[in-house]
A and B are shown apart, each in its own frame.
Chain A
Amino acid sequence: MPIGVYVCHCGLNIAGVLNMEELKRFAESLPDVTVARDLQFSCSDIGQEQIQKDIAEFKLDRVVVAACSPRLHEPTFRRAISKAGLNPYMLEMANIREQCSWVHMDQPAMATEKAKDLIRMGVAKAALLRPLEPESIPVSKYVLVIGGGVAGIAAALDMADAGLHVFLVERRPTIGGYMALLTDVFPTNDCSICVLGPKMSEVFNHPDITLFTYSEVLGVEGSVGNFTVSVIKRARYVDEKLCKGCINECAGVCPVEVPSEYDFGIGKRKAIYIAYPQAVPLAATIDPKACIGCGRCEQACPAQAVRLEQEPEDIKLNVGAIIVATGWQPFDASRKEEYGFGRYRDVITTLQMERMLNASGPTKGDVVAPSTGRIADSIAFLQCVGSRDATVGNPYCSRICCMASLKNAQLVKEKYPETDITIYYIDIRACGEGYEEFYLRAQKLGINFVRSRVSRIEEVDGRLFLIFEDTQTAEIKRVHHDMAVLSVGLEPEKNAEVLGNLLGLSRRPDRFFEIAHPKMRPVEAHIDGVFIAGCASGPKEIPISIAQGSAAAAKAIKLLHKGTLELEPTSAYVDPDKCIKCKLCVDICPKKAISVKSPAYVDEAACKGCGSCAAACPVDAINMRFFSDEQILAQVRAATFEKKESPLIVAFLCNWCSYGAADLAGTSRIQYPTNARNIRVMCSARVDPSFVLEALRRGADGVLIAGCRIGECHYRDGNYQALQRVQVLKGVLEKIGLNPGRVKIVWCAASEGEIYAKDLREFIAELKAMGPVGTELKKLKNNRNEGEA
């Protein structure tokens, strides 16, 4: 097993502090090391060529580069050794710059000793490296979009135009979502269905889109590149292909009338109906809950399209990626009992107002008070109904309702200039391009604004009164309006909850689907190959929903366009003989990559290599192909081989945040003591309690585990899992008589080099106070002896 070690000067960056000659000689003395050199700049062409030459000459089969951070040049050296014919994974780097020479500039001797340990650890790990082949799997070029609102439509069209084939599954009998029901839309007040309608038809006619309306997803299996999805297409009791959409013939004879869900209760429809004239597909549906089975529509249909005996259809789809665009649902205004919605007829919601304003809506565009049927003389809009309200469990701002009320107020005012309109608001949130101008326009039109959260609405002798405190004049007032419009907030679609569970999506406290990172990955789910767009991940207006639909499409295209997917060979794998089928790993895996058939099985396409399962497995049946148990234990043993520090700390740093923070401390030249020997792991959850115990057993005085800040784990909640394990571990230490303070867990973001240094200094001070590991055992023994004597 010939190993080559290259100690880099990095000009004076490393050589200015560390004793290069000594390091080189030290490396030569290590087991299995065939050749050790110090190089001026190992990343330069000359440096790389030297390594490649040695690989050929000494038949090296693994290489250790002691230089800068692997986060910087690991890809460079992997490429270099693979050019020389080695497997790229046969490389290990010892970080003697960011985490050594740059942070211990005034203690060259101690820093050189630390660098020796880091090299010893690198060589020990290198000896256990195994060649890994990145696997390439064929992927399906079909994509599933769930939800045919404006976000789903945008995603479907972009992908289909780019050559992927799209299956669009929509719960309702028509696509279009809520946008299709709105009147004009802010900030330009153009007619909503006039801009959406053509897109809906385009979806219907696109050769690369297969549309399933009135359908739902019932099951999802597989992982990125190869999902198998079961869909049920409910019976609409009408042959979609034969129906001409004339609707008057069948609905005209249907004897059953029910409130229309597309008019939010203010309009009616028949048991056989089309949601609205622009519906896509333009085909009738029979509502089985309302239908009495009289069969009159069947007789009346000139196209003979009615099929009362139709059965639901099961459909299986194979897709490479899934876009979730299930949207939102309005807050149920009757939950705010103090506003009397559902009791007082003239209290309506903004959605009912949208339908009234709609020229093809139930009132043909007239804004009338429902109790009288007359045009309302004075209208109140109440903001934040069901939003910013802890009493109904919705502390968040719904973001669009200020703008929606400003819009509706303008539309009413333009139509009926004499109408008196007042908007009752907490504060107007109009932030978006052209939004503030839109607000100013409303003010210029003579719309009144009262800063107040209305406390209640009373109906006295059929007249509505609003009771509220005007917070600008500090007066309690009681004011009459003909009509009160509740600006209802946006809640996550209830019908998407099951779907979320099927896909393993997580939810934020506001119950919307959580995206992989709140800033950097706005349309990706935690699950690979699944994307989220539009209001499914939180309230947003149409332009942003469309932008997200297109962004999700771009991500899916990037993922699938090549037809193959290269998998990082860093996944977990199970030893089937050891597995006891406890299923602990299934629950823990943030990527839902593990299933326990018989025994546990890791879907390597879904696994992202965090290693939490390997740490959790009670019988060590799971191991990692990269960052294996043996490799990490070898590093621990090398770090404690010769104890040159007091206290000596073995530190496990997660690749994403805390290792980044330690690197940043280096680039910022933050100085701290040399006591820690760092081991890089992918996630703090990778740290198996046995690593910690091994470190302490071999003489480390303390073990530090550092992860991303709580809530910022790059996998999902690995840092919580690490925290739980540390708490259990502290209990174990206490039982065996060690101070539980010897293991410490800290959080730092990659931007927090200073915090990493501070945490380390504090830990050193704490360990100094405890004395060397084992001190407490001796004390315990002495106390016992005294007790016996």
Chain B
Amino acid sequence: MKLAYYPGCVSQSTGKEMDASTRAVCTALGIEIEELADWNCCGATHVSNELVATGLAARNMAQTDLPIMTACSICYSNLRAAEERLKEPEVLTKVNAVLDKKYRGAEVRHALDVMLEAMPEGDERIVLPLKGLLVAPYYGCLLTRPAGLYSAEFPVILETLIKRLEAEPVDFRKKTACCGGPIFMPQENAADDIAFGILSEAKRAGAEVIVTVCPLCHLMLDAKQKILEQKKGEKIGIPVLYVTQLVGIALGLGPEELGLFMNTVSPMGIVEKAYERMGNES
């Protein structure tokens, strides 16, 4: 499988582990990725101006004829939304008028579904099946809305992936709720309440780990977890992994490769537990 890879700006800053694990997992699964040579913002910084946002996305998408993969839900959502809008001849004409390389249609994919496709059931490359690990599948809002390909409220693709790794998805009621990230700047308290609500729901559901598909969700749930615990006076202590990191663990990739040391709440406990379980079984 050969794809163009769109890392997105977060891959250069707070989401380095997302980028690292994506590349590592692709290598391990034999997915050939070619980074877009001259990528720019996906449009997220200009969502208030639909045309500019669409133009930014189109400039990325015009660079390749391959399907484009991204691991970030924000980028995914923006590129997909642009793909839809560019089906309107009027928008297409306006956008192409300012592009050097003209947009001629594109296919955008999230790393989540690329990995699922590349990793059939019972894949022998899953050397560390995550048997018994209770995982909260957290989709956040942008993977499925507004232009996602999955059910907006009741998607199941993450659950499918979790099961494929032989882990166990918990019944996680807030799986498609917003993480609070988008209102973090203007309404910090409200954003904190929302993020904490998601963490407590994961705890209630008995999750040992939360898996995310979006760097903003990851920031809210992982990087802010300690601060939120202090603010609310309640311990959570659940590691939050990018879906690519979770897959990487099951594929037996090392913590360095997967950027596991960059996570704020250390996931090393669950990795060790997984190895222990495997040891006990054999």
Contact = CB atoms under 8 A, between A and B. Distances in A.
Nearest to B151: A337
B173 A337 contact: no
B154 interface: yes
Contacts of A456: 153
B173 A458 contact: yes
B170 interface: no
A338 interface: yes
Contacts of A458: 173
Interface string A450-464: 000000101010000
A371 B197 CA distance: 28
A758 to B, nearest CB: 29
Chain B interface size range: under 10
Nearest to A467: B177
12 contacts: A337-B151, A337-B152, A337-B153, A337-B154, A338-B152, A338-B153, A340-B153, A343-B154, A391-B146, A456-B153, A458-B173, A460-B173
A628 to B, nearest CB: 38
A343 B154 CA distance: 10
Q: Is the interface of A mostly helix, strand, loop or mixed?
A: mixed
Contacts of A343: 154
Contacts of B146: 391
Contacts of B173: 458, 460
Interface in B139-170: 146, 151-154
Interface in A319-342: 337-338, 340
Nearest to B155: A337
Interface centre among B151, B152, B153, B173 (most CB of A within 10 A): B153
Interface of B: 146, 151-154, 173
Interface of A: 337-338, 340, 343, 391, 456, 458, 460
Q: Is the interface of B mostly helix, strand, loop or mixed?
A: loop
Contacts of B154: 337, 343
A340 B152 CA distance: 12
Given A337-B154, A391-B146, 10 more contacts: A337-B151, A337-B152, A337-B153, A338-B152, A338-B153, A340-B153, A343-B154, A456-B153, A458-B173, A460-B173
Contacts of B153: 337-338, 340, 456
Contacts of B152: 337-338
Nearest to A340: B153
A340 B173 CA distance: 13
A738 to B, nearest CB: 27
Nearest to B154: A337
A460 B204 CA distance: 12
A456 B152 CA distance: 12
Interface centre among B146, B151, B154 (most CB of A within 10 A): B154
A337 B173 CA distance: 14
A391 B146 CA distance: 9
Contacts of A337: 151-154
Nearest to B153: A337
Nearest to A458: B173
A223 B152 CA distance: 48
B30 to A, nearest CB: 36
Nearest to B144: A337
B173 to A, nearest CB: 7
Contacts of A391: 146
Contacts of A340: 153
A456 B145 CA distance: 15
Nearest to B177: A456
A474 to B, nearest CB: 13
Contacts of A460: 173
Nearest to A460: B173
